[in-house]
Amino acid sequence: MSVLDILLKYYPAFLNGLEVTLQLSSIIWGLGLFLGTLLAVAGTKFKYWIGIPSRCFSFLLSGIPILVFLFWLHYPAQSMLNLVINPFYTAALTLTIVNIFAVADIVRSALIDFPQQYLTAAKVTGLTKKQTIFKIQLPLILRTTLPALLMLQVVMLHTTLFASLISVEEIFRVAQRINAQIYRPVEIYTALGLFFLAVSLPINGFALWLRAHFTRDISET
C-alpha cells in the first residue's frame, strides 16, 4: 500500500482529523493573538494590576512543560472542580493560555522598545489616545512582531498534536489509529510529516521574508 492508497482509502478519517486540528488551531491562533495583544497592552497601562501579575504567571508557565499543563488541566483540575469537560475544549483552553502568554511576551517587549519619538509626534500633532494606539503603535508593533508571532503560531500548530494524548480526535490521533489497523508507520508518518511541512514552511518562510522586508522599511535613515 502506498501513501496514495492509504490516503484514498482513509481520506474521510484524515479529513475529519484535519478538521479537528484546524478547528483547534483556529481557536488557539485567534484567541491567543487577540487576547495576548490585549494583555500586553493592558499590562503596560495597568502595570500593577495586570502587567506584573501576568508576567509572573508567564514566568511560572515557562517552567511547566505544555504537556504537563495540559494533563493537569485535563485530570486534576477537573476532578478538583468536579467537572467533566470535552477534551477538545480542555486542549483549546490549555494551548490558548500558552499562546496568549507567549504572544503577550512578544508584544510587550515590542511595546517597551517602541521608539518614543513616534508617540511624541502623535502627541504634538494632536492625535487622540485611540488613534495613537490603533493608527501608530499597533501597526508599527505588528510590523516588528509579526515574524516572531507567525513562527510562534506554527509552533502552536505543532503543539496541537499533544491534544491526541487526551484523546482529541485530531490528525495525529487519526494517523495513529489508522496505523494501528494497517501498520504502515513509514507511509503514514511520512505523509503526516509532509503535511505539516507543507503548512509550516510557507508560514515560516513568509515570516522570514517579512522580517527582512520590514526591518529595512522601518529603519529611519
Partner 1 sequence: MLKATNIHKSFGNKDVLLGLDVSVKEGEITCLIGPSGTGKTTLLRALGGLDMPDQGTLDIDGTLYTFSPTHKDTIPDPWPHITVVFQSLFLWPHLTLRENILLPARNRWDDFKAMETELDGLIASFEMAHFIDQYPNEASLGQRQRVAIARAIMVKPKYILMDEITSSLDIEQVYKILTRLEELKGRGIGILLITHQIGFAKRAADHIVFMDKGETTESGNASILTEPKTKRLKEFLSMVKMAH
Q: Single out the residue of 12, 125, 130, 183 in contact with partner 1 (rule: CB under 8 A).
A: 125
Task: Give residues 72-111 in contact with partner 1 (rule: CB under 8 A).
Answer: none
Q: Single out the residue of 85, 127, 155, 191 in contact with partner 1 (rule: CB under 8 A).
A: 127
Residues in contact with partner 1, shown as a per-residue x/- string from 189 to 218 under the rule CB under 8 A: ---------------------------xxx
| CA distance linking residue 186 with residue 2, whole number of Å | 10
Residue 132's Cβ-count burial label (10 Å; 0-12, 13-18, 19+) is middle
Q: 137 or 164, CB closer to partner 1?
A: 137
| CA distance linking residue 5 with residue 189, whole number of Å | 14
Minimum CB separation of residue 89 from partner 1 in Å reads: 38
Stretch that binds partner 1, among 98-106, 130-138, 149-157, 204-212 (CB under 8 A): 130-138
Residue 202's Cβ-count burial label (10 Å; 0-12, 13-18, 19+) is exposed
| CA distance linking residue 84 with residue 74, whole number of Å | 9
Stretch that binds partner 1, among 41-49, 68-76, 120-128, 175-183 (CB under 8 A): 120-128
Q: How many C-alpha atoms does 114 have within 13 Å on its Cβ side? A: 23
Sign of the torsion formed by the C-alpha atoms of 160, 162, 163 and 167: positive
Q: Single out the residue of 135, 190, 197, 202 in contact with partner 1 (rule: CB under 8 A).
A: 135
Q: Confirm or reject binding of residue 123 to partner 1 (CB under 8 A).
A: yes
Stretch that binds partner 1, among 15-23, 79-87, 137-145, 197-205 (CB under 8 A): 137-145
154, 156, 13, 164 alpha-carbon torsion, rounded to 10°: 150
Q: 122 or 192, CB closer to partner 1?
A: 122
Q: Confirm or reject binding of residue 221 to partner 1 (CB under 8 A).
A: yes
Spatial contact of 180 and 127, defined as CB atoms under 8 Å apart: no
Chain contacts with partner 1 (rule: CB under 8 A): 117-118, 120-128, 131, 135-136, 139-140, 143, 216-221
